Amino acid sequence: MTPPARRTVYLDHAATTPMLPAAIEAMASHLGRTGNASSLHGSGRAARRTVEESRETIAEALNAQPSEVVFTSGGTEADNLALKGLWWARLKDDPRRRRILLSGIEHHAVLDPAVWLAQHEGAEIEWLPVDDLGRVHPEDVRRAIEQDPDSVSFVTLMMANNEVGTLQPIKEIAALAKAYEIPVHTDAVQAVGQVPVDFADLGVDAMTISAHKVGGPYGIGALVVRKETKLVPIVHGGGQERDVRSGTLDTPATAGFAVAVEHAVKHQADEARRLIELRDHLIEGITTTVPGAKLSGDPVGRLPANAHLSFKDCEGDSLLLLLDARGIEVSTGSACNAGVAEPSHVLLAMGYDDQRARGSLRFTLGHTSARADVDAVLDAIGPVVERAMSAGLQNVGRNN
């Protein structure tokens, strides 16, 4: 007899979340249709209608104007367009504006283009301090600006951290930057669908979103950018998106994206309550049964679906693989480059020592998560941690 298939417990929704059935249906309904949204004939106009209706749906869900939604290939491209586009536009207006203010906990889609601008374009990066809960304080932003307001190009700060889930005071920071006429970009990829996201109310100049984090397809995102905000294009061609982003638009993907964003925003409050209950059950279960397990990030001001924990005398990669062997899929707080585990830059920026930074796991819930998933983790985590600790001690002995 063939053994029954093992049920997979998927708790890595921050990496990507399963597509919503309605988004799959919307996308599939357009896959067999021909039409370039830039063409003037009937098929082209039909594709254009789908794209513009999708743009309107996303804009309405986020309280933005449709013309402010610029479609991209995903969150990474949107972040690059925001940083590089703002940098070159600001520098053109005033060559003194070379300082970029950002925190050390940003996603690499923000960190890497900022570092690239420093290495190749003469940008001056100023790192905003982060406390041990992963928060950037508005007064620190104010102090950084007031050192020399005329030299600041822009501020970029994520709305919610992708690793530890801490929420940032974006609205307050945008307001103080506005007093100096300094634009603010926020990466809201993790926030949409988990907490209220109102583009107009936030007061930011540009905001990054991504489809596959909210139940939409891979390969599409958007930069929501105010009409008066100047951006220099980084992708040149037909100028399809407000002349700041070129490329043939993926009509089926825009349809799936719109359905996913609309659903995520419409059900955000109810889903947040459900996920908080599951998340808190998971955190309490782990911290009360596993010696030395500690919650990372802000215990209150955090994403509803995020539970990031560190484990004493364990390697996060070992924990991840041991859980994976039991059919439980999570992620680690460390990044692996060329097979060499490195401590998370987020945790190091928060002041964690190397061991705690290495011994961390991120559990992220989503629309398919259920109580049974959390209970499966709680049943497995004790034995898994014991085995990982034993392996770690054996390795220490061999190294000595």
Helix residue ranges, H only, the chain = 21-31, 42-62, 75-93, 108-121, 138-146, 170-178, 199-202, 251-266, 268-289, 316-325, 345-349, 354-358, 371-399
Catalytic site residue 314?
no
Q: Which of 336, 370, 393, 396 is catalytic?
A: 336
Q: First CA to last CA across the chain, in angstroms?
A: 48
What are the C-alpha distances in Å from 397 to residues 286, 391, 393, 394? 28, 10, 6, 5
By C-alpha distance, which of 162, 378, 347, 136 is closest to 280?
A: 378
- Residue 133 CB neighbour total at 10 angstroms: 17
Q: CA quadruple 305, 311, 314, 319: dihedral positive or negative?
A: negative
By C-alpha distance, which of 393, 311, 297, 312 is closest to 347?
A: 297
Non-local (6+) Cβ contacts of 140 within 8 A are 128, 129
Residues designated as active site: 336
